[in-house]
Amino acid sequence: MYLKLDYQNIDLSKRKSEGLKALDKILSKQGLGSDFLGWTHYPENYNREELQRVLEASEKIRSESDLLVVVGIGGSYLGAKAAIDMLKPYFDKSFEIIFVGNTLSSTYTAEVLKYLENKDFSINVISKSGSTTEPAIAFRLLKKLLEEKYQDKAKDRIYITTDPKSGILRMEAESAGWTTFTVPSDIGGRYSVLTSVGLLPIACAGIDVKKMLEGAQQAVLDFTQKDLDNNLAMKYAIIRNILYEQGKKVEIFTTFEPKLRYLGEWLKQLFGESEGKDSKGLFPTSLIYSTDLHSMGQFVQDGSKIHFETFIRIEKPELDIIIPESTDDDGLNYLDGKSLNYINDKALEATVLAHNEGDVPTIILTIHEINPFIFGYLVYFFMMSCAISGYILGVNPFNQEGVEAYKNNMYALLGKKGYEKLAEKLK
């Protein structure tokens, strides 16, 4: 058992058939957006030759660069960032991975370019469509810097991950001779962390991506089971929908381990972009406890009753510390000899009890420890839960049409060809 699911006072039996129906639609590819279900069996069916090339490229990048710059936004970077933050030691600077093209901040982008001036670096541009504005701008700037630094050798430091056939980036890469990897056509950005999108940056960080895929393979076996009692992804999807229907419109993902901060960001994107449509869907957000108990804790406990919490609990920390005995009168002697993780876990227990008391339902997902296998297992669990949950909700969990609205306005305001009429209207 790699994952444990605890919840209180929710009867799933009446919703069993909905869960099974949703899973059936996914496995038989009969539901909305079924062209984007490539991720369901990808951990078993992935292209072995491509993985080998990813591993070779990561070796090459690590040997000839001080750092890798990952250019991408949304699903094209959040999974890798989540894995690296979760699985690397906090202060490990042995091989740096930095992320750009996920913001239009001129200050951040300028500071990155300055930081890179005296470093040897390679870049991995990740964009399925190949035309997203944020990474495209960052790529243009980085390409210029690479060409100034390495002249005709610059092209050996550019790695592109994009659609196998279509898009401007694919065309550009092929004509320039850059090394390319693929985002399978039937896998959308937020479901792509286990493809080359996530695997190349994660492998460059020195993390065992084969173990990650093994974890995901185990998850395929566990979460495609057509059996509610044994399929935690289906159970969790049903619980979320029951709470949503009870008026809990916000799901707060919480953890007592700050290394999971970006897992929270990845979850926000996965669930927010998959379910927030047709005027429906839970609003996903994330908090890090106990830190945020001293900021948002008041609201969670005592504010408007719009939310429930999903705790991600880690049983065994990577490291632990014993609180030393002390003769000082600092009011802490009741903690002498206890481990810091024991105290952290008691803080979690205390929080769950207090929040339940304050009418905040809680779900606890417990993993034994954090490692690459568990990361693969966990992300697959969430992707399957999200797909099942989206189908129960009655939306297409694989499109994101709502994202286009701001883009079109931005193109019009910036004077892009073809957007003249909209520009007039906006003025």
Per CB under 6 A, residues contacting ligand PA5 are 73-76, 127-129, 132, 135, 188-190, 273, 400
Does the annotation count 21 as an active-site position?
no
The one-letter amino acid code at 416 reads: K
CB of residue 201 to ligand PA5, shortest distance in Å: 14
CB of residue 135 to ligand PA5, shortest distance in Å: 6
| DSSP annotation string for 94-134 | SSEEEEESS---HHHHHHHHHHHTTS-EEEEEE-SSS--HH
Does the annotation count 25 as an active-site position?
no
From the candidates 134, 251, 257, 273, give the one annotated as an active-site residue.
273
Residue nearer to ligand PA5 on the CB measure, 188 or 284 = 188
Residue nearer to ligand PA5 on the CB measure, 61 or 187 = 187
For residues 240 and 275, the answer to whether their CB atoms sit within 8 Å is no
Residue nearer to ligand PA5 on the CB measure, 226 or 407 = 407
CA distance 58 to 360: 45
From the candidates 338, 369, 407, 420, give the one annotated as an active-site residue.
407
From the candidates 294, 421, 425, 427, give the one annotated as an active-site residue.
294
> Edge to edge, what strands does the sheet with 121-126 contain?
96-100, 67-71, 121-126, 158-162, 179-182
CB of residue 129 to ligand PA5, shortest distance in Å: 3
Residue of closest CB approach to ligand PA5: 189
Residue nearer to ligand PA5 on the CB measure, 73 or 364 = 73
Residue nearer to ligand PA5 on the CB measure, 19 or 272 = 272
CB of residue 397 to ligand PA5, shortest distance in Å: 11
CA distance 122 to 124: 7
CB of residue 136 to ligand PA5, shortest distance in Å: 8
Q: How far is CA 120 from the centre of its chain?
A: 28
Does the annotation count 294 as an active-site position?
yes
| DSSP annotation string for 218-286 | HHHHHHT-S-GGG-HHHHHHHHHHHHHHTT--EEEEEES-GGGHHHHHHHHHHHHHHH-BTTB--EEEE
- The catalytic site residues sit at 273, 294, 407
